[in-house]
Amino acid sequence: MKHLALVLAAAATAAGAAVGWRLAESPRPPAPARDARPAHLVPVRAHGFQFIAPLVECAAEGEVPGQADIRRAAARVLDEARAAGALSDASVYYQDLDRGGAFEIPGEGAFAPASLVKIPLLIAVLAYEEGEPGFMDVLRPFPGSGESRGRQFRRPNVDMIKGRDYTGWRFAEAMIVESDNVALDVLGGLLPLEAYASVYADLGITGADLELGRAHARVVGGMFRTLYDASYLSPEMSERVLALAARTTFREGLVAGVPPQTKVSHKFGEWSSDAGGARAHQLHDCGIVYPERGPYVLCVMTRGPAMDALPGVIAGVARAVHQAVRAADAG
């Protein structure tokens, strides 16, 4: 992922100078709620899309029902996984997109974002497309499988042919649906480094945090909320991103924890490293779940001694949250 490394390294130094004017015009919103306190504002939204509901305004509301129970249900799964030795650390972020309530179960430390970074990178590319229509229609050659794809544990099943030309849209599809790192390299090299740094800063992400593996569930969850609100990209572009994410081929995490036919627009990330002589693994799955009663953001970031155990932890959290949401609505 050579271009990604350059993007992340540059973002740390470019953010102050390159995006200062943009941040001055658009102050960064406050961090989402970190506890189970009731929300006092409910979003009022425009409808007519499949995956988004653009934010129109906020109206006053009372307490969000069942939110403390939802948090306890998620925490119980994490506690059981720790006791079983399957989990060493985890963080969960939840937000009700209709009623506004949110909570975070923080981990002991931050996490490597891994392939979760593909979402803000695509947002940056599509923001450029909005200013320069046709940019994504340009044909570019597929460089073929390379070192970056070889480092992936869950190998993508991409039918693109080395040397053949494809549009930016096709590379975006491969990057999000199949999590292909070669497509990431191509898209990551399309824009000046400052363009990525600018968008990341607008989304509340710093290049230094990404480069040093200091991602947080609430920040990643906030990216999906931004797409659902259509508050950064246009409604049409926001819908495109979430429609691609709904086709993600990784089905063992959030998707496995909700009833069949429930739409989930999400992105996973995986990371392994040697720490203190022992192999440590991270697996994350973050996105929007769309049950009939209304959508919610759910981001689960995990760290443990064995990668094979982590999908089940994420699915367990997703299942517990979904059941608690249903119980809150029934009550």
- pLDDT of residue 140 exceeding 80, the answer is yes
Q: What confidence tens digit (pLDDT) does each residue in 315-325 have?
A: 999 999 999 99
Backbone phi and psi for residue 287, each to the nearest 5 degrees, phi listed first: 170, -155
Among 125, 124, 117, smallest CA distance to 167 is for 125
Domain map (residue ranges) of the chain? 1-30+115-212
CB atoms inside a 10 Å sphere around CB 194: 16
pLDDT of residue 5: 44
| DSSP per-residue string spanning 165-187 | EEEHHHHHHHHHHS--HHHHHHH
> 212 or 325, which is more confident?
325
- d(C-alpha 179, C-alpha 284), whole Å: 13
E strands, 15-152, are 41-45, 55-60, 89-96, 102-105, 139-141
- pLDDT of residue 208 exceeding 70, the answer is no
User: What mean pLDDT comes out for the span 102-109?
Assistant: 93
Q: Which amino acid is at 156?
A: P
pLDDT of residue 205: 79
- pLDDT of residue 42 exceeding 70, the answer is no
- pLDDT of residue 28 exceeding 70, the answer is no
> Do the beta carbons of residue 148 and residue 182 sit within 8 Å?
yes
- pLDDT of residue 130 exceeding 90, the answer is yes
> Do the beta carbons of residue 281 and residue 303 sit within 8 Å?
yes
The string over 134-154, giving b where at least 16 C-beta atoms fall within 10 Å of a residue's C-beta and e elsewhere, is eebeeeeebeebeebbeebee
- What is the 3-state composition of the chain as percent helix, strand, coil, each rounded to the nearest 5? 45, 20, 35
User: What mean pLDDT comes out for the span 213-230?
Assistant: 91
Q: What confidence tens digit (pLDDT) does each residue in 283-311 have?
A: 999 999 999 889 999 999 999 999 999 99
CA dihedral 242, 248, 250, 252 (to 10 degrees): 50
CA dihedral 161, 166, 169, 173 (to 10 degrees): 0
Percent residues over pLDDT 90 in the chain: 59
- d(C-alpha 307, C-alpha 161), whole Å: 30
- d(C-alpha 245, C-alpha 275), whole Å: 32
pLDDT of residue 250: 95
Q: DSSP character for 223?
A: H
- d(C-alpha 63, C-alpha 213), whole Å: 35
- pLDDT of residue 95 exceeding 90, the answer is yes
- d(C-alpha 159, C-alpha 142), whole Å: 11
Q: DSSP character for 151?
A: T
- pLDDT of residue 145 exceeding 50, the answer is yes
pLDDT of residue 277: 65
pLDDT band at 39 (very low <50, low <70, confident <90, very high): very low
pLDDT band at 275 (very low <50, low <70, confident <90, very high): low
> 14 or 329, which is more confident?
329
User: What mean pLDDT comes out for the span 143-161?
Assistant: 69
- 54 φψ region: left (φ > 0), alpha (ψ -120 to 50), beta (else): beta
